[in-house]
């Protein structure tokens, strides 16, 4: 007799999204002592995966990654949705809740060269190199450090972007280290240390979201929640919310646990990278005003070329 499905997990159809959903299922089954067939993965083709020739901000922003899964949750077609947390809008419907944050993976970006890998990272890019990325943070940060480089738009999943690189559309591109690792490609590219190159808010974190009123699902997912990772990523998302940052807002931030507190470093950029403002803060993990005060400090010192891209605490 076939065992009854306990949970239906929604996920995007990309190879990376499916790998993250598989990791979530494996962790849940191990913690609850279930067979893997007790959790069904339900893939959806997200709107953000349908359009790959334009920057995300031009076609609807981060909501394009969550729209269909949000609808399925509302309809009861799935119990929960698995997300890359960095791709989830800062302001979410009150009807939904992040029930679990899995142990966070590598926070860093990796620089991937079209030709031979070079451990010198950015310093190895030839003068005037063409670099493919659709992320305002990566583009602005690159141009701040290497104003001689030229940025071209790269959209698509990991395989698509690596294919564009191989085809000669750019000399190099950036990919998240965590995503490459989850796809079994740990050795691709050169890791950029966070002391020199700041990642996106919540980079490397998998989140599982469900309906706020679904107490049973929330209880089943609670065993997945990794408190240290949740503290880091929620602080980073709180900073983004306090800044009013969106898809067009170039911001890099990293948060680490240090002696029982959270140490946060962040930088804001103008689109072409000429202007940069950075700051740091140390605060208790449950101290909600820590990210807020850092946001106020950064915006207070930023030039108009930067503040034009941040709306303050009302942003989404």
- Please give the chain's pLDDT, 316 residues, in tens: 247 889 999 999 999 999 999 999 999 999 999 999 999 999 987 665 555 555 555 554 456 768 899 999 999 999 999 999 999 999 899 999 999 999 999 999 999 999 877 788 999 999 999 999 999 999 999 999 999 999 999 988 899 999 999 999 999 999 999 999 999 999 999 999 999 999 999 999 999 999 999 999 999 999 999 999 999 999 999 999 999 988 889 999 999 999 999 999 999 999 999 999 999 999 998 877 999 999 999 999 999 999 999 987 644 4
264 SS3 class: strand
What is the domain-level CATH number for residue 296? 3.30.160.40
Question: Is residue 200 situated within a structural domain?
Answer: no
Q: Verify that 83 and 213 share a domain, yes or no.
A: yes
Instruction: Give the residue numbers annotated as catalytic, written as ranges.
Output: 87
The answer to whether position 315 is within a domain reads no
Which residue in this structure is represented by tokens 């029982």? 260
Q: Which residues contact 240 (CB under 8 A, 6 or more apart)?
A: 90, 201, 249, 251, 253
CATH of the domain at 150: 3.40.190.10
| Residue 79 lies in domain | 7-102+205-225
Please tell me whether residues 210 and 93 are part of one structural domain: yes
User: What is the domain count for the chain?
Assistant: 3
| Same domain, yes or no: 21 and 97 | yes
Rounded CA-CA distance 206/209 in Å is: 10
Residues 89, 152 share a domain: no
Q: Are residues 76 and 117 in the same domain?
A: no
Task: Give yes or no: residues 153 and 276 share one domain.
Answer: no
Contact (Cβ atoms closer than 8 angstroms) between residue 87 and residue 14: no
Strands 80-84 and 96-101: unpaired
Q: Is residue 198 part of a domain?
A: no
Do residue 215 and residue 263 come from a single domain?
no
- pTM recorded for the entire structure: 0.92
My answer on whether 22 and 57 are in the same domain is yes
Q: At what angle do helices 227-243 and 289-301 cross, to 10 degrees?
A: 40
Residue 312 lies in a domain: no
Note whether 56 and 140 are same-domain residues.
Answer: no
């Amino acid at each position: 007799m076939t065992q009854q499905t306990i949970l239906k997990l929604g996920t995007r159809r990309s190879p990376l999204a499916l790998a993250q959903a598989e990791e979530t299922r494996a962790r849940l089954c191990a913690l609850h002592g279930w067979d893997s067939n007790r959790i069904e993965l339900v893939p959806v083709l997200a709107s953000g995966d349908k359009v790959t020739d334009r920057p995300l901000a031009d076609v609807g922003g981060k909501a394009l990654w969550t729209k269909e899964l949000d609808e399925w949750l509302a309809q009861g077609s799935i119990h929960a949705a698995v997300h890359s947390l960095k791709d989830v809008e800062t302001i979410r419907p009150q009807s939904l809740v992040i029930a679990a944050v899995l142990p966070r993976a590598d926070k860093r970006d990796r620089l991937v060269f079209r030709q031979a890998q070079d451990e010198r990272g950015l310093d190895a890019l030839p003068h005037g190199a063409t670099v493919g990325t659709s992320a305002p943070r990566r583009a602005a940060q690159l141009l701040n450090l290497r104003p001689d480089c030229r940025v071209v738009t790269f959209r698509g999943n990991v395989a698509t972007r690596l294919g564009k690189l191989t085809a000669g559309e750019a000399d190099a591109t950036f990919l998240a280290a965590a995503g490459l690792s989850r796809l079994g490609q740990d050795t691709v590219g050169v890791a950029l240390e966070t002391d020199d190159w700041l990642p996106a808010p919540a980079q490397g974190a998998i989140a599982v979201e469900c309906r706020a009123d679904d107490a049973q699902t929330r209880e089943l997912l609670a065993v997945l929640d990794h408190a240290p990772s949740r503290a880091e990523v929620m602080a980073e998302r709180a900073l983004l919310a306090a800044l009013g940052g969106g898809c067009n807002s170039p911001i890099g931030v990293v948060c680490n646990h240090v002696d029982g507190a959270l140490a946060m470093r962040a930088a804001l950029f103008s689109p072409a990278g000429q202007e940069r403002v950075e700051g740091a803060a140390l605060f208790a993990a449950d101290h909600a005003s820590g990210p807020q005060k850092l946001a106020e400090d950064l915006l207070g010192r930023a030039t108009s070329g930067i503040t034009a891209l941040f709306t303050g605490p009302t942003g989404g």
